[in-house]
Amino acid sequence: MAFTSMLCCVKKLDRKERGKKQLTWRIFSLKELHSATNNFNYDNKLGEGGFGSVYWGQLWDGSQIAVKRLKVWSNKGDMEFAVEVEILARVRHKNLLSLRGYCAEGQERLIVYDYMPNLSLLSHLHGHHSAECLLDWKRRMNIAIGSAAGITYLHHHATPHIIHRDIKASNVLLDSDFQAQVADFGFAKLIPDGATHVTTRVKGTLGYLAPEYAMLGKASESCDVYSFGILLLELATGKRPLEKMSPTVKRTITDWALPLACERKFSELADPKLNGKYDEEELKRVVLVSLVCAHTQPERRPTMLDVVELLKGESKEKLSKLENDEMFKAPQAADFDDEERSIAENSSDFISEEKDVNREVKEIVLENAHNS
């Protein structure tokens, strides 16, 4: 029922758009996608997660595609599929992954996208491409500004506005020119006109979750800003959002970075893989923007419109105000209480809708709020 009703929305959108411009997506047959992916051959698998698996494929005309094959065991899985299809059908922006089409036959739910030859930002920061050091500083700045522009479109220009809810390195894909494309809208929420937030059960990835979302389930554009701040800091430093300090203790990237930023030790924050080859002013700008985005108090965070302007360095007045923000004035203690910061080793970094926010997430959130 959920899938049918949501796809009705897509078909209505189809009819509305048909008179305006030619559609750039279509419905694929299961037979066509079996052929394109060599029957979903393991050698064609690009990755997998809680949602299912992604496969590389090639259509009859030679064009390369990525096919997300979802696990559909419930109405919730069907809903995620329908939400992603509808949102992808709505949005068109150079920094948002485009929908090529979808397939819904029997129990199969598949979404087809353009193939991104440079895979994800995660693969270059922490994955099998990280040793190749392909992300120089210029590329990192372009990725930062491009992904920020894509999220800005969702928050301020899409109708209705859209909250992504799962901004992270694996959901920023890179095309052949290393241009960023924000992907994976399965957790996204449409925001009704006039609403400041929607209350929902928590979905997302540990390390990227805004405190108010993790604790209260209040999703808003500001939650995406927080997640983007963590992503931005990860991009500049090469560190993961959560760093394992011992078998049972993890430290957040902001706990490590904020004291150094307060002491203006920006060179110590730069990813060692850059070998000192970066623009010092841009690095400082990225670090300060990332940390204010990841502020524990939502009202202190900028909008994504502000973020794009700050990253581009378009307003010296706003940059000066940011640099003199009180959060960067007093040096903050870098050490932490092992007992309070402890996270159970068997806890998952992924928070599903079926799970309430667990004690481990709350401990991190409360500790971060205390430090702020």
pLDDT number for residue 93? 94
Q: Is the pTM of this model over 0.75?
A: yes
Catalytic site includes residue 177:
no
Ordered domains of the chain (ranges, CATH):
2-10+17-114 (3.30.200.20), 121-371 (1.10.510.10)
% of the chain beyond a pLDDT of 70: 77
- 332 pLDDT tier (thresholds 50, 70, 90): low
Segment 351-364 shows an average pLDDT of 46
pLDDT number for residue 335? 46
More confidently predicted of 26 and 76: 26
More confidently predicted of 60 and 197: 60
80-135 pLDDT, tens per residue? 788 788 888 888 899 999 889 999 998 899 999 999 999 999 999 998 888 888 99
Segment 307-326 shows an average pLDDT of 94
- Most confident range, picked from 20-24, 39-43, 66-70: 39-43
Catalytic option among 14, 136, 166, 271:
166
pLDDT number for residue 217? 84
Q: Provide the Cα torsion 288, 291, 296, 300; round to 10°.
A: 30
pLDDT number for residue 367? 53
More confidently predicted of 359 and 243: 243
Angle (CA) 357-362-368 rounded to 5° is 140
- Most confident range, picked from 32-36, 48-52, 192-196: 32-36
Q: Is the peptide bond before 160 cis (omega within 30 degrees of 0)?
A: yes
Known binding-site residue numbers: 68
More confidently predicted of 212 and 6: 212
Q: Rg of the chain's alpha carbons, rounded to an integer?
A: 21
Residue 162 has pLDDT above 80, yes or no: yes
225-249 pLDDT, tens per residue? 999 999 999 999 999 999 988 888 8
Q: How far is Cα 274 from Cα 256, in angstroms, rounded to an integer?
A: 19
- 366 pLDDT tier (thresholds 50, 70, 90): low
Q: How far is Cα 335 from Cα 322, in angstroms, rounded to an integer?
A: 25
Q: Each residue of 271-286: b (16+ CB within 10 Å) or e? A: bebbeeebeeebbbbb
Q: How far is Cα 209 from Cα 15, in angstroms, rounded to an integer?
A: 37
Residue 189 has pLDDT above 90, yes or no: no
Known binding-site residue numbers for ATP: 68
Q: How far is Cα 25 from Cα 18, in angstroms, rounded to an integer?
A: 12
pLDDT number for residue 90? 80
Q: How far is Cα 351 from Cα 73, in angstroms, rounded to an integer?
A: 18
More confidently predicted of 284 and 70: 284
Segment 215-222 shows an average pLDDT of 88
Q: Range with the lowest mean pLDDT among 215-219, 264-268, 317-321?
A: 215-219
